[in-house]
Structure formats: C-alpha cells, structure tokens
Amino acid sequence: MKAIFTKTAGLSDRPFHYCPGCTHGIIHRLIGELLEEMNLIEHTIGVAPVGCSGFCENYFTCDMIGAAHGRAVAVATGAKRARPDRFIFTYQGDGDGASIGLAETMSAAARGEKITSIFVNNCIYGMTGGQMAPTSLVGQKTSTSPYGRDAATMGYPLDLPKVLTQIEGAVYVASVSVDSPQAIKDAKKVLRKAFQVQLDGLGYSFVSILSTCPTNWGVNPVEALEWLQTKMKPHFALGELKVPATEGGSEA
Amino acid sequence: MALLMKGNEAIAEAAIQAGCRLFYGYPITPSTEIPEYMAKKMKAVGGTYLQAESEIAAIYMVYGAGAVGERVMTGTSSPGFSLMQEGLSFLFAAEIPCVIVDVMRGGPGLGGLGPTQADYFQLTKGGGHGDYHAIVLAPFSVQEMVDLTKEAFDLADYYRNLVIIAADGILGQMMEPVEFPPVAGRKLEPKTWAASGAEGRPKNNVLSYYLTPELGEAENLRWGEKMSRIKETEQRFVEYEMEDADYAFVAFGTSSRITETAVDMLREEGIKVGLYRPVTLWPFPEKGLTARLNQIKGWMSIELSAGQMVDDVKLVVNGKAPVGFYGRQGGMTPEPEEVAAAFKAQLLGGE
Amino acid sequence: MSSALTKYKFAGFGGQGVLFIGKVMAQAGMLSKQQVTWFPAYGPEMRGGTAHCSVVISTKRIGSPTVGKPDIAIVMNEASYHKFIDSVVPGGTLYVNSSMVPELPGREDIRIVRVSVNEIAHEMGEEKVANIVMLGVMQAITPTVADDVLEKALMELAGKKPELAALNARAFKAGQEYAKNLC
C-alpha cells in the first residue's frame, strides 16, 4: 500500500498539549517538516520560549534549550556564536518577542545575528490566561483590558515585523498566517526561505505567523479563524516584507 | 617570569588560558578592562567576544553558549550584576556551567565606582529566585585572580554549576606581578548532556522548569544534595598568624589585605591577633573557623559594606565568643589604623 | 634602600605620562624582587583631565594598594600640586614640575624639589618625555631601587622602538644629571 501521508521525523509522537483550534500545532508541523526535508534535525538547536509554546521541546526532535521569558534570542545568539555550524531557531510568542524580549529581538536584528526567529502572534497572553499582549488590538477585551484596549492609556498594537524591516541586519522578514490550506502552504514556503537565509549566512531572518487563541478569545475554533481573518489581518502588514538583496530586495 | 598586570586583564587572560573561547558582556566601570581585553585577544585564539545590548542579554548569551557545552564567561560590576540575577537562577536550574565575574562597586542604586564588597548577600545568598547557590570565589591579589579563574572553569564543569569570581574595584584596577603557571586541572566528564545538535545520539533538552510540584521537589532535593557535596569538599580559606592568636579578624578580598596590615600593627603592640580569610564565600568556610572556636576569644569581620559576611561569622561562632564588625562603604577603604582602633574599641574594651 | 615600604603618588593631567612613570617604578620594584602594587585613579576621578596613580614598593606583602599619604610624590601640573601637597608624609619629598606650577605656598616639613622638566625635555627636542626627566630627578634624589634596575624597567616598558628607547634613556639621564647639580 502506498503511504500518502506520514508524520514528520521532525516531530515526536507526543500528543500536543495545545487547546482545540489553536494553530501552534500547525506551525510546529511546518517547522518539523522543514527540519526533516532540509536534513537539519541533527544539526539544529532550537530555543523554546516561556508561554504556551514553552513546552515545544517535547515535540521537536532536535536538541532544544529552554530560555527565560523574552530571552530566547539572546540564548540563540550565545548558542550560534558558540556553534556557528548549527542551525539555530527561536520559537516565540508575541509577549516573548515583542514585549519583554523586544530589546533582544531588535538588537539581534541589528547585529544581523545568523539565527531564525519564528514569532507566533495571537494578540493575547495564552499561558497566563488571556491578558493583554503588545499586539492586542485597540478595543480588544482581555483580562487586563476588561473594557477593551484603550489607545489613549494602553497604546497601540506593535507590528513587529514591519518595524524590523527598517533594520539593516534583518535580511528576511515575513508575516504570514495559517488560517487556510493555501495560507499554510504559503507559510511553509516563507519558513523555508527564512531557514535558507540562515544557512546561507545572510543575517537575521524573522517570520511572524498570525495565530489563534479560541480559549482566551472566548470563541469556538471556527469563529477564531474568522476573528483572525477579519480583525487581525487588517492590522498587521502581511507577506514577504523584506527579502535579501540577491532576490532583488533592499541591500541588507 | 612575572608580568605586571591589572586584575581585570589577568582574569581575562586566565580565562583564555583555561580554554574559554566565548565572552559576552556589557561594559561597566570598574570591570571594563575584562571585555576590552577579550575584544582584543579572542580573535587571535579563534574565540568570540560579543558586546551584548545589556547585562540581561549577556547572561542569556552565556546561558546559550553554556547550554551547547562550551566554556563561556561574562564580567560585570554591581548594577550589571543585579541585572543578571534572573539569569543566574536559570543557569543554576538548567545546570549550565559558566563563570561570571563581579567587580564590585558602590551601591545601592547607581552608586559610585569605588571598591566595595556590598554584593556579598547577592553573591552568596542567591540574588535570583529559588533555592540556589553559585560557587563564589574571592581572590585577594592579582595572582589569585589568575589561579582562581582557571580553577573556576573546572569547578563549573565538574559540578555543572555557575561559579562567580567576586572581586572589587581595587583588585580589578590594580597591577601586581603575576605568573601564569600551567595547571593540571581536574578530570572532567564529557558534556553528554549538552544541546549541541543531536548527531548520532538521542536529542538533548537543556531546561529549567518542571511541570509538577512532585518533580519540582525531587529536582530541588537533587540540587540540594549537590550543594551539600560542594559544601563538604570545596570550602577554602587562608589563615594568617592564627596559630597562637587570641583574637581573629575575618576578611576577604581587598579588606583582607588591609586587615593583614592591621594584624601586623597589633602584633607589634604585643596583641595576639590573626586573620581568617575566606577564599570561598559560598560555601562559607565554616570548617576552618569552627576548628578555631575554642581558641579565639573574639572575632571581628572587616568588610567594605555595612556588614554582610558578619552574619555568616555569627552563625558559625554561634554565641561562643563576641563578634565585632567594622566596615567602610560607598567606595571608601579603611586604613589599617582604623581597623586596629575599631578592634581595640569593640573587643578589648577600648584599651 | 632606605625603608622597607615606600609609597608613591604620580599625578598630572592626561597625556603627561604619570600613569606610565608609575608603571616603570612598579616594574623596577618587581625586577628588584620586591613586592609591588600599582593602582590608578579610575572612573570620574579621571574626568576633567587629571590622572594619578599610586605605587607601593615593599619588602613585605602589601596591604592596600591605595596611597593616602605618599612618601614620595610627583606633581606635573598645578591642580595636582593643590590636590596632593598636604598628603605627603612629614619628611617626605614632593617633586614639582615648575614648568607648569608657579611658586606657591609650600610646606616646611617636607622637601620640595622644583624642576622645570618641560624645558629640559624641550631642549632635548621632545617635550613628551618631561615625565621621564622627572623620573630621573626622583631617582637621583630619593632612590628606592638601583639605577640600572630602573633603567632596565624603563627600557622594558618603553623600548620597543629603538629611537624611542634612546630618547627615553637620554631623558632619564638628563633628569639624573640635573638633580646632581641641585644637591
């Protein structure tokens, strides 16, 4: 019998702990597939964040280091400088990469650190139970913005990939989603490019992936995808925002 | 052949000789010569110096490099050391070997740049969260900065524990003759636990969390057992004029140098006094001090702080003799005469 | 070798080479098999252009490397003169660069040696070695190490370029010669 679909060697057999309708699982799978397809599993050191995806070392079959909240990029920098021959990626949420770890993200980008950051943005703090994130939308109700995010006092969502395009050392910046089969295919293409940028030693590569959190948004999985499509997408720049000069992009 | 070298530079050179090829740091007075020396010298040995965006980033770069199994170091001074505290707790829990230098300066706050020993509590009692300890080594000369730095890397690897070298502005900035004799070093196991890429072996995770309280307690007990082992085997101290002493000072680092002069002055007056110098601040060298308890009629801790180590002295002396204290703060150092006078006032009833 | 322990202070503004002559002195002490320490002013003390360092040379182990009360001090500019004149121990010696320090109220209980080292160095064709001239003066009047040892130390620290080594050696000799005429 011909096998038409198998699990990827990039992921373990351990069942995900993620909530129904959460897209972390899809993103994990894309990364696992790429590690396998690009023959990277044994040459990779992944850095796990603090947050819902803080246990992702249980799923990826490469070596993993668990960082402190916000410090994944610094940990990855330390590891990459120690082992430049290794493929190093960070997996981070919006709080990790765009709030508590913002200085680390920007500085690693500025240094052109040859690592890849995968930034999963769901506009909310999932692990701690639905508090406001740096990417929460204006008006969005969370447990720490119970009357909705008020721009006058709580400011605006930070579109981190858009900001990163302004930094010379960030040579590949993309912002994608995994809300449809086509979007998932596109996300994989983008991730592959980001990985290749690191393998080619070009600089910092960063992929933002819009993601869902039905549990903390208080909606069902289908509604969550609709919320992502109708509410989130208009607020964040999407697509390949910056590509290396070799692809006709701006000189990095 | 001895060289005249600054303490900070001597530490950096000793680290390179100990096989450290990675240094991550953020410049801060009075420890800046450490990153400067590394920036200059690492290239020639194929190593890496990287200037981090902050001490927070620096300590986590150390975490990353240590987690993949390489010898790594950072160096800082008190405010920067404060910024690193969360990282120290994580390094302990993940059992990542590394060496950290704290060249202490005045505090609290931005404080001043003069020498102090006011980070003692932070160094020895765990400035970060949770039940943890770093091994803390306190050199008192530039030569000892070299010897203890080399030792520090071995201790870190041997116990899979962070090791801190506690210096101060004077030790960091001063020059003294120094030699770099070859060191045999400890026999160390290969770092099979490291997350260095799972080539031809099952994957490794280097983590600092546990999912259940049961696991958490088991881990803490295991670490506690390691701490007990270090306490048992790694206490270090040096005694000066203690054999026939009736009274004893306790002092480390720069204050021990000043106190040594005070001991000489008091001995010239016929007062039998000695100096007990802790070389490990953690583990505090209780054993040697305990061995002198029946002999010594009074103890006195001399520190460049408001009095921190004196608490540990009191715990060991446990009421068997009076324990005095004299210190200067904010970057000031006492003259030996002051130390002698304070001793007479507190322990000899003002003779 | 008059005493078992000698404390020095070398002071001036940045660029006058006071840290350097302190290092030469410490190196000479080390070559003489004595204990030595060298300790610079650092941080904000260095701002505003003043620089100074402390050197201790001793037959015994040295306690603090900081020097509050020097036995011997060199002051290369007026600000340093004001800062350190009162700190010299009674019976001590203060060397004053009179090219930079005008006649000022002094002290009766210390020896004050005034030498226009900038002029001497200028006559040699290089004003930058005024510090070395002063080192020569000091060595002639209050030596704590042998002449050849101090010269050796000077060559070890400054002698990488032959012409520079020769210039330093000449400056050192010029200082010694000048001082002999003072005595």
Give the 3-state secondary structure of chain A. CCCCCCCCCCECCCCCCCCCCCCHHHHHHHHHHHHHHCCCHHHEEEEECCCHHHHHHHCECCEEEECCCCCHHHHHHHHHHHCCCCEEEEEEEHHHHHHHCHHHHHHHHHHCCCCEEEEEECCEECCCCCEECCCCCCCCCECCECCCCCHHHHCCCCCHHHHHCCCCCEEEEEEEECCCHHHHHHHHHHHHHHHHHHHCCCCEEEEEEECCCHHHHCCCHHHHHHHHHHHHHHHCCCEEEECCHHHCCCCC
CB-based contacts of C75: which residues, under 8 Å, 6+ apart? Answer: C11, C12, C81, C83, C84, C85, C94, C95, C96, C97, C101
Which residues in chain B are contacts of C30 at CB distance < 8 A? 2, 4, 177
Distance from CA of B113 to the nearest CA of C (A): 6
Of C47 and A251, more confident: C47
The whole-number pLDDT of residue C2 equals 43
Token pair recorded at residue A118:
């995968």
Which residues in chain B are contacts of C42 at CB distance < 8 A? 29-30, 113, 169, 173
Q: Which of B20, B49, B63 is the best mutation test for A, with the most CBs of A within 10 A?
A: B63
- What is the count of residue pairs from B and C with beta carbons less than 8 Å apart? 59
Closest to B110 measured CA to CA, from B74, B80, B88, B86: B80
Q: Does C47 touch chain B (CB under 8 A)?
A: no
Which residues in chain C are contacts of B333 at CB distance < 8 A? 64, 66
Range of the domain at C101: 5-182
Q: Return d(Cα B235, Cα B250) in angstroms, integer.
A: 15
The whole-number pLDDT of residue A252 equals 38
Residue in chain A closest to B24 (alpha carbons) equals: A78
Q: pLDDT tens across A27-39, in order?
A: 999 999 999 999 9
Q: Which of B29, B169, B176 sits opposite C37 (nearest CB)?
A: B176
**Band of pLDDT at residue A245, cut at 50, 70 and 90:** confident
Q: Using the beta-carbon criterion (under 8 Å), do C43 and B257 form an inter-chain contact?
A: no
Q: pLDDT tens across B24-74, in order?
A: 999 999 999 999 999 999 999 999 999 999 999 999 999 999 999 999 999
Task: Decide: helix, strand or coil at residue B38.
Answer: helix
The whole-number pLDDT of residue C45 equals 63
Q: Using the beta-carbon criterion (under 8 Å), do C38 and B335 form an inter-chain contact?
A: no
Q: Return d(Cα B250, Cα B238) in angstroms, integer.
A: 10
What is the pLDDT of chain C when averaged over all its residues? 93
- What is the count of residue pairs from A and B with beta carbons less than 8 Å apart? 131
Q: Does A102 touch chain B (CB under 8 A)?
A: no
CB under 8 Å, gap of 24 or more: what pairs does A247-251 form? A249/A171
| ipTM score assigned to the predicted complex | 0.95
What is the pLDDT of chain A when averaged over all its residues? 96
Token pair recorded at residue C61:
């182990």
Burial of C46 (0-12, 13-18, 19+ CB in 10 A): middle
Q: Using the beta-carbon criterion (under 8 Å), do C63 and B113 form an inter-chain contact?
A: no
Average confidence (pLDDT) over B67-87: 98
Q: Which of B2, B113, B177 sits opposite C42 (nearest CB)?
A: B113
Distance from CA of C26 to the nearest CA of B (A): 8
Which residues in chain A are contacts of B200 at CB distance < 8 A? 42
The whole-number pLDDT of residue C174 equals 96
**Band of pLDDT at residue A248, cut at 50, 70 and 90:** low
- The values of phi and psi at residue B189, to 5°, are -75, 150
Residue in chain A closest to B201 (alpha carbons) equals: A42
The whole-number pLDDT of residue B126 equals 87
Q: Does B175 touch chain C (CB under 8 A)?
A: yes
Q: Return d(Cα C42, Cα B174) in angstroms, integer.
A: 10
CB-based contacts of B326: which residues, under 8 Å, 6+ apart? Answer: B300, B301, B302, B334, B338, B339, B342, B343, B346
Q: pLDDT tens across B86-119, in order?
A: 999 999 999 999 999 999 999 999 999 999 999 9
Q: Do chains A and C touch (3 or more CB pairs under 8 A)?
A: no
Q: Using the beta-carbon criterion (under 8 Å), do B176 and C40 form an inter-chain contact?
A: no
The whole-number pLDDT of residue A244 equals 94
Distance from CA of A185 to the nearest CA of B (A): 28
Q: pLDDT tens across A110-123, in order?
A: 999 999 999 999 99
Token pair recorded at residue B152:
């520090």
Q: Using the beta-carbon criterion (under 8 Å), do C40 and B173 form an inter-chain contact?
A: yes
**Band of pLDDT at residue B351, cut at 50, 70 and 90:** low
Q: Which residues pair with A170 in a beta bridge?
A: A204
Task: Show which of residues 17-46 on chain C sit within 8 Å of chain B, judged by CB atoms.
Answer: 23, 26-27, 30, 36-40, 42-44
Which residues in chain B are contacts of C38 at CB distance < 8 A? 4, 174-176
The whole-number pLDDT of residue B181 equals 94
Q: Return d(Cα B216, Cα B74) in angstroms, integer.
A: 29
**Band of pLDDT at residue C44, cut at 50, 70 and 90:** low
Q: pLDDT tens across A71-94, in order?
A: 999 999 999 999 999 999 999 999
Q: Which chains form contacts with chain B, at 3 or more CB pairs under 8 Å?
A: A, C
Q: Does B30 touch chain C (CB under 8 A)?
A: yes
Domains in chain A and their CATH numbers? 24-246 (3.40.50.970)
Q: Which of A17, A36, A42, A45 is the best mutation test for B, with the most CBs of B within 10 A?
A: A45
Distance from CA of B95 to the nearest CA of C (A): 36
Q: Using the beta-carbon criterion (under 8 Å), do C64 and B333 form an inter-chain contact?
A: yes
Q: Does A86 touch chain B (CB under 8 A)?
A: yes
Domains in chain B and their CATH numbers? 3-233 (3.40.50.970), 237-347 (3.40.50.920)
Q: Using the beta-carbon criterion (under 8 Å), do C44 and B113 form an inter-chain contact?
A: yes
Q: Which of C20, C42, C53, C54 is the best mutation test for B, with the most CBs of B within 10 A?
A: C42
Q: Which of A81, A86, A107 sits opposite B22 (nearest CB)?
A: A81
Do the Cβ atoms of A171 and A203 come closer than 8 Å? yes
Q: Using the beta-carbon criterion (under 8 Å), do A77 and B207 form an inter-chain contact?
A: no
Average confidence (pLDDT) over C71-88: 96
Q: Which residues pair with A89 in a beta bridge?
A: A46, A116
Average confidence (pLDDT) over B262-282: 98
Q: Using the beta-carbon criterion (under 8 Å), do A81 and B197 form an inter-chain contact?
A: no
Average confidence (pLDDT) over B239-268: 98
Q: pLDDT tens across B162-185, in order?
A: 999 999 999 999 999 999 999 999
**Residue B244: pLDDT over 60:** yes
Which residues in chain B are contacts of C68 at CB distance < 8 A? 335
Do the Cβ atoms of B230 and B242 come closer than 8 Å? no
The whole-number pLDDT of residue A225 equals 97
Q: pLDDT tens across B183-237, in order?
A: 999 999 999 999 999 999 999 999 999 989 999 999 999 999 999 999 999 999 9
> What's the structural domain count of chain C?
1
What is the pLDDT of chain B when averaged over all its residues? 97
Q: Return d(Cα B156, Cα B95) in angstroms, integer.
A: 9
Q: Using the beta-carbon criterion (under 8 Å), do C63 and B174 form an inter-chain contact?
A: no
Which residues in chain A are contacts of B54 at CB distance < 8 A? 103
The whole-number pLDDT of residue B53 equals 98
Average confidence (pLDDT) over C106-128: 95
Q: Return d(Cα C95, Cα C10) in angstroms, integer.
A: 9
Q: Using the beta-carbon criterion (under 8 Å), do C39 and B177 form an inter-chain contact?
A: no
Distance from CA of C154 to the nearest CA of B (A): 13
Residue in chain B closest to C67 (alpha carbons) equals: B335
The whole-number pLDDT of residue C183 equals 64
CATH of the domain at C128: 3.40.920.10
The whole-number pLDDT of residue A250 equals 53
The whole-number pLDDT of residue C50 equals 81
Burial of A119 (0-12, 13-18, 19+ CB in 10 A): buried
